[in-house]
A and B are shown apart, each in its own frame.
Chain A
Amino acid sequence: MMLAALAQRAARLLILLLGVNALLFVALGLSGDPALMLAGEDPTPELLESIRAEYGLDLPAWQRYLVQLGRMAQLDFGVSLYTGQPALFMVLEQLPATLLMAVLSMALTLCTAVPAGAWIGLRPESAARRFGAALTAVAQGIPGFVMALVLIQIFVVRLGWLPSLGYAQPAAWILPSISLGFFLAPKLCRVVSAGVAEAMQQDYIRTARANGASMRFILWREALPAALPATVALVGTQFAFLISGVVLIETLFLWPGIGLLLLHSAQSLDFPVLQALCFVVAVLVFAVNGLADALLRLMDPRLRPATQ
């Protein structure tokens, strides 16, 4: 049972990776000739030829596809066209910084959005709810990078309290995390508040009240546990979206993560690095979704396979 489920997941991962790889291959093929980028100013035809031969760019498309597919199977994405380092190594080197920011911003989001959402959800008819709903709607409308620019303007440029760039000192972690958290928090807040508000309408809340439960107990033990599965499902699906936010934020703060790497390698058509990046991101998204599914199953017993 367990093994079958795992095998099914593995098969899905494989299909996903093949799909991503094929899409990327087509997209990159359309986007330009890397040999031109590598050759620099005024390349001679001979130079281009030699570059193409060196990187296997002179082969027909289907051959190139099969070759890189075979390599991918061995986790070999080739070397970067610019630094000469193995592409996968470059990605993995940058990954911890991105993960750090993801964890920090996620923690920040959870710490603000869940209490705020619960607070709003408990007051379905109040002015506070309408204000909260309006606020989150506005917040959702502001792109993350605008927020980041505003934060930099205030705390770095005007006040000079925080460093704006880099990764070395923890003080520099604050603004990127807030900016990225801002990206996700409003959505999460809405989902939590909707979930709590819906749970509060349910008959079992009446049962709890009839049993003398306090509002605090009802919120923590009855309404939130019922609202959380939807929240986790959202976080799971938003993760891929978060990566695109990461690109913007990392660029603005010169954060040495995979977002920055993605930007650079896309600008310079560094095919191997892009392939490796997409591979890693796909695996990451897949893993997070799997984790979210597992968490969902843990939180909502109705999703578990029947055991009795």
Chain B
Amino acid sequence: MSASASLLRIRGLCVDFPRGGRVLHHVSLDAGAGEIVGLVGESGAGKTLAALSILGLAPAPGRISGGRIFIRDQELTQLGEEALRALRGRLAGFVFQDPLTSLNPVRRIGSALVESAMRHSGLTRRKARERAIAALRSVELPRPEVAMRAYPHQFSGGQRQRIMIALALINRPPLLIADEPTTALDAAVQSRILELLKRRASRQTLLMITHDLALAARFCDRLYVMRGGRVVEHGAARELFSKPRHDYTRSLVEALPGRRARASVPNRSRRQEPREVLAALSGLTVRYQGAAQAAVEKVDFSVHANETVCLVGESGSGKTTIARALAGVIKAAPGQLSFPALKDHAPSAAARARHLQLVFQDPYSSLNPRWPVERIVAEPLRAHRLCGRAEQKARVTALLSRVGLDPRQMDRRPSAFSGGQRQRIALARALAINPRLLLADEALSALDIRTQARILALLRDIRKERKLALLLITHDLALAAEVGDRVIVLRRGRIVEQGPASRVMNTPRSKYTRELLAAQARWGADAHSGGMYTSHP
């Protein structure tokens, strides 16, 4: 493609921050008319900054210090704030990651759309209103006239993202920039939004920013892979995915759940004699006060010693409620939850805690920011009075080394560690009192793909070595397929399917599991790799 045919042209873009130094290093990128271009990389790679810089939206102290940006041969780097402002929304529309926070909660949907249309297209209020309704209809929002008068909180996440798309498209810009547009959404909703974007963007250029390489490979024509503020590799999506040239891209591809899965499948389905039952749910039903529906209804399953069970479902499916019941945060009705291995019908909270430990989703909020790591990891030891002060240091040292952290850093506080390292700290804390069952509630979903792979490998090693049982709660079916011996699929508080991981993946019995698999197969992990889902229609 010749450079002049491209709609968006970025040449050697550099962005500096006064104190942080150079953050973007000579980024060059082309996007042709009607093309879908993916900008891929882990968080902090500079993807969003590059996209925001196109129309001068880089956050405050950041400054473009070199390079040129063109849209339709108009140079944008020379323009002042006022001139750029007039182009925002008209030359390029933005769709941001989190549709809840990206829409003003105190403004009606309609007023945001109408004012944007009036601002740029010089329409009368009535014409602008008509266009706004048409825009909402084009993103397939039900009852657009009613929606105009509603507020963001009255919509679901997927609907809000549709509204964001309508807002970005209302002035019919030739370029649509979508920054992680589906990351905050459930798998099934995600797939519908992506289809909508693809349909809507058929006459437009779409610049898609994502950390999800598999999704980008499926969705985009061409990809740019960014790392540390530089473009490390670019090319046609299929090619780049199947034959990555750069080491970094290769490591991204290899870290994908679908890819990892094939390596570990053979030694999974070995038969074993009946094992000890560590936790058993029989007809667990939890109804929150004031809720019309039970959060969890008649759920039966058990976790045996030395196995990995994955609980899969979208948000609202009751996964976390089950975790809470297991942890004793919610009291289960008598007989609905038992721990046969404890040989005690009503184990004390302490006994239960020694039996079962948790790792949570958010490694930022689940560690006390004021405590040094040593104290965090030693907390369960102290709480259960398992060791004295002198021994504590030795135990923490051993634990930290085991999870791959430098024990010399045990005086530091959580803020000194990255997300992956914090999750390792949380893991060390959970392992401190030698539980037999480890419950990980979306413990990997806040991490980027390579960190996820490393933590997962660590979990697997530790599990084997300590003969731990692992109950992994996740929304990610591909991940569940990779690590789980058994998979349990939840929907709206009920189990819709459970069985050995390979059976559930290969011959799903419930319609819902098939839907989830289809959604993931369309945009998800196996992409063009001829992976495990391609045998399904």
A binding-site residues for B, Cβ under 8 Å: 125, 202-204, 206-214, 217, 221-222, 225-226, 229, 299-302, 306, 308
Contacts and interface: CB of A to CB of B under 8 A. Distances in A.
Given A203-B98, A221-B115, A308-B150, A211 B89 contact: yes
A274 B4 CA distance: 85
A222 B86 contact: no
B125 interface: no
12 contacts: A203-B96, A207-B94, A207-B104, A210-B94, A211-B93, A212-B119, A213-B85, A214-B85, A217-B115, A226-B106, A302-B151, A302-B153
A209 B102 contact: no
Contact of A222 (B60, B104, B154): B104
Interface in B141-193: 150-151, 153-154, 164, 167-168, 171
Contacts of B154: 306, 308
Given A203-B101, A204-B101, A308-B154, A210 B106 contact: no
Contacts of B103: 204, 207
Interface in B73-123: 85-90, 93-94, 96, 98, 101-107, 111, 115-116, 119-120
A204 B55 CA distance: 17
Contacts of A203: 96, 98, 101-102
Contacts of A226: 104-106
Given A203-B101, A207-B167, A212 B107 contact: no
A210 B84 CA distance: 10
Contact of A204 (B60, B87, B102, B168): B102
B115 to A, nearest CB: 7
Given A301-B153, A308-B150, A204 B104 contact: yes
Contacts of B332: none
A229 B106 contact: yes
B57 interface: yes
Given A203-B96, A302-B153, A212 B105 contact: no
Given A212-B90, A222-B107, A207 B102 contact: yes
- Give the size range of B's interface with the partner: 20 to 34
Given A213-B119, A302-B151, A206 B105 contact: no
Contacts of A225: 104, 106-107
Identify the interface centre among A206, A217, A221: most chain B CB within 10 Å of its CB.
Answer: A206
Contacts of A207: 94, 96, 102-104, 164, 167
B106 A300 contact: yes
B292 to A, nearest CB: 13
Contacts of A211: 88-89, 93-94, 116, 119, 167-168, 171
A296 to B, nearest CB: 11
Given A211-B167, A221-B115, A308-B150, A206 B102 contact: yes
Given A221-B115, A301-B153, A210 B105 contact: no
A299 B106 contact: yes
Nearest to A204: B104
Given A210-B94, A212-B116, A212-B120, A300 B105 contact: yes
Contacts of B85: 212-214
B89 A206 contact: no
Nearest to B113: A211
Given A221-B107, A222-B104, A301-B105, A206 B98 contact: no
Contacts of A229: 106
Identify the interface centre among B85, B104, B107, B167: most chain A CB within 10 Å of its CB.
Answer: B104
A176 to B, nearest CB: 35
A302 to B, nearest CB: 5
A308 B85 CA distance: 37
A125 B60 CA distance: 10
Contact of A206 (B96, B107, B111, B171): B96
A212 B88 contact: yes
3 shortest A-B CB distances, which residue pairs?
Answer: A212-B88, A210-B94, A203-B101
A301 B104 CA distance: 11
Contact of B86 (A209, A212, A217): A212
Nearest to B177: A210
Nearest to A211: B89
Contacts of B167: 207, 211
A49 B115 CA distance: 77
Interface in B231-250: none
B448 to A, nearest CB: 21
A209 B167 CA distance: 12
A207 B170 CA distance: 13
B151 A301 contact: yes
Contacts of B168: 210-211
A202 B101 contact: yes
A203 B105 CA distance: 11
Contacts of A210: 55, 57, 88-89, 93-94, 96, 168
Nearest to A205: B104
A222 B164 CA distance: 16
A212 B98 contact: no
Given A206-B57, A206-B96, A207-B94, A212 B87 contact: yes
Identify the interface centre among B87, B103, B106: most chain A CB within 10 Å of its CB.
Answer: B106
Contacts of A214: 85
A300 B168 CA distance: 24
B318 to A, nearest CB: 22
Given A209-B57, A212-B89, A212-B90, A302 B116 contact: no
A221 B107 CA distance: 8
A222 B119 CA distance: 15
Contacts of A222: 104, 107
A14 B10 CA distance: 69
Nearest to A213: B119
B90 to A, nearest CB: 7
Contacts of B55: 210
